[in-house]
Structure 1
Amino acid sequence: MPRAAGQGEIRVLVADDHPIVRGGLIALLDTLPGLVVVGEAGTGRDAVALARRHRPDVVVMDLRMPDLDGVAATRAIRAELPDTAVLVLTMFDEDALVAAALAAGARGYLLKGAESAEIDRAVRAVAGGVAIFSPTVADQVLHRAGTPPSTVLAGLTPREREVLDLVARGLGNATIAGRLGLSPKTVGNHVSALFGKLGVATRAEAVVRAREAGLGTGPVEPAR
């Protein structure tokens, strides 16, 4: 579950393959009240392993890393540790990378060069369950969100449409998994992918987009 205000220190894992950048970020986080760095990783595989070991509240994740890139590492962490939020901090703002990171389950996306206050605010936001993006990335997310529903749905797989329809009907992941004969983890992965493709950051936004496209409007049929 996302952290509520006043629940104590926010535990952060920093993942970046550049030692100087990583060290500078750790030094910054160590000066911020209520934040504690519990580990640092120089590769994607190390990030996944350390997240598994320390179970941080937030992973600050670079995207271009050796061994396992940040998108794949984000996907692995979110699949195994759904209560851990991932905040991407990278030099790259290409639309495809943004979409891939969001589809993998990242809750925030900042560009390197962000001010200290912006990083501080972003870490606290994602730990509390709030999506946050740098201004240029936010523009891209809003642009995707403004795409006509028919165009957005055209990019979904048949299975993703099924999942989205059930999400729009108000069903939770476990119930959807039972109806479609999938594992809850697989359904969670589909939902994360849908967030990226629809350009949304929350389940409520996904429901709105689905209903705009005509999904989720009928009664829920009894499970077979």
Structure 2
Amino acid sequence: MTPLPVLLVDDDGLMRAGLRAVLSTDDRLLVVGEAADGREAIAATRRLGPRVVLMDVRMPDMDGIAATREIVRVAPEARVLMLTTFSDDDYVLGALRAGASGFMLKRTQPEELIAAIHTIAGGESLLSPTVTTTVIDRLAREPEPDPAVSRRLRLLTPRERDVLLLIARGLTNAEIAASLQVEESTIKTHVKRILSKLNLRDRVQAVIFVYESGLVRAGEAHPPVAAREAHPRI
């Protein structure tokens, strides 16, 4: 099996060396390059075609958030996993809104980091529990939802809205399927349609969208799923 290509981006050479050592313990991963700032990261992504970019947030010249925004634009197949010592909510939301597929703290255990890389590469999104709490708490302090964002919800069918709410609760496709009593393949189709209709990159952005739209406010009970007949038509 061809190893998964990974790009390391951090202005600290010792940190890059440490990450390279950690990833070398998994023969399914291959570090194809390194970069010391955002501009180098963009150039390296164009040149090397990594599947996953491990991106630091605070770097000179161009930070990780600006670099992520550009990488997502020029190489949409690349997945960005932010890895930083900072859990500041501005950085977290900025990175996720820029298109990062996950955000983890550098104190993450090596095995957890490796698992996260594979998760990101597989098309899923990932946030550590601490980061998830930070995101939701920050969104709770934001002003009233943008009407333009709320209007986008009208693009969804009632069942797609149900699925979106369950995504916001952090449920997996399998758990959503069990909740709605349908096949998991049906939920996968719904998720693809939701992301396409709302022009969202992945599930992380879907969660942010739910809170930004006002469909759910942080601190509320789990959002209810509208009642359906015993055997709903999908």
Q: Could you tell me the TM-score, scaled by structure 1's length?
A: 0.69
Distance 2:53 2:22 in 1: 15
Equivalences for residues 1-224 of structure 1 within 5 A: 8-143=2-137, 147=140, 154-156=144-146, 159-163=148-152, 165-166=154-155, 168=156, 191=200, 201=204, 203=206, 206=209, 212=215
What RMSD over aligned residues (CA atoms) do the two structures have, in Å?
Answer: 3.0
CA distance in 2, matches of 1:135, 1:204: 14
CA distance in 2, matches of 1:144, 1:201: 15
**Cα distance, 1:77–1:164 mapped onto 2, change above 3 Å:** farther
SS of structure 2 residue aligned to 1:45: helix
Whether the aligned pair in 2 keeps the contact of 1:85 and 1:107 (CA below 8 Å) is: yes
Q: Secondary structure at the match of 1:76?
A: helix
Residue identity opposite 1:44 in structure 2:
G
Change (3 A) 1:124 1:212: same
After superposition, give the CA deviation of every residue in 1:185-216 in whole Å (9 maximum; x if it has no partner): xx85xx46xx8xxxx61548846985937xxx
Query: Match of 1:113, SS?
Result: coil
**Partner AA of 1:53 in structure 2:** R
Q: What percentage of residue pairs aligned between the two structures are identical? A: 38
Q: What stretches of structure 1 of length at least 5 have no aligned partner? A: 1-6, 177-186, 214-224
| Residue identity in the other structure for 1:83 | E
- TM-score when scaled to structure 2? 0.66
For the 8 Å contact 1:15–1:59, the answer to whether it is kept is: yes
Q: Is the 8 A contact 1:153 1:161 kept in 2?
A: no
Judge conservation of contact 1:165–1:210 (CA < 8 Å) in 2. Answer: no
Cα distance in 2 for residues equivalent to 1:134 and 1:153? 25
| Corresponding residue of 1:181 | none
Q: Which residue of 2 aligns with 1:220?
A: none
1:134 CA displacement: 2.2
Q: In the TM superposition, what whole-angstrom CA distance separates every residue of 1:5-27 from its partner, at most 9, and x where no partner exists?
A: xx742110000000011111112
Stretches of structure 2 lacking an aligned partner (at least 5 in a row) = 161-192, 217-234
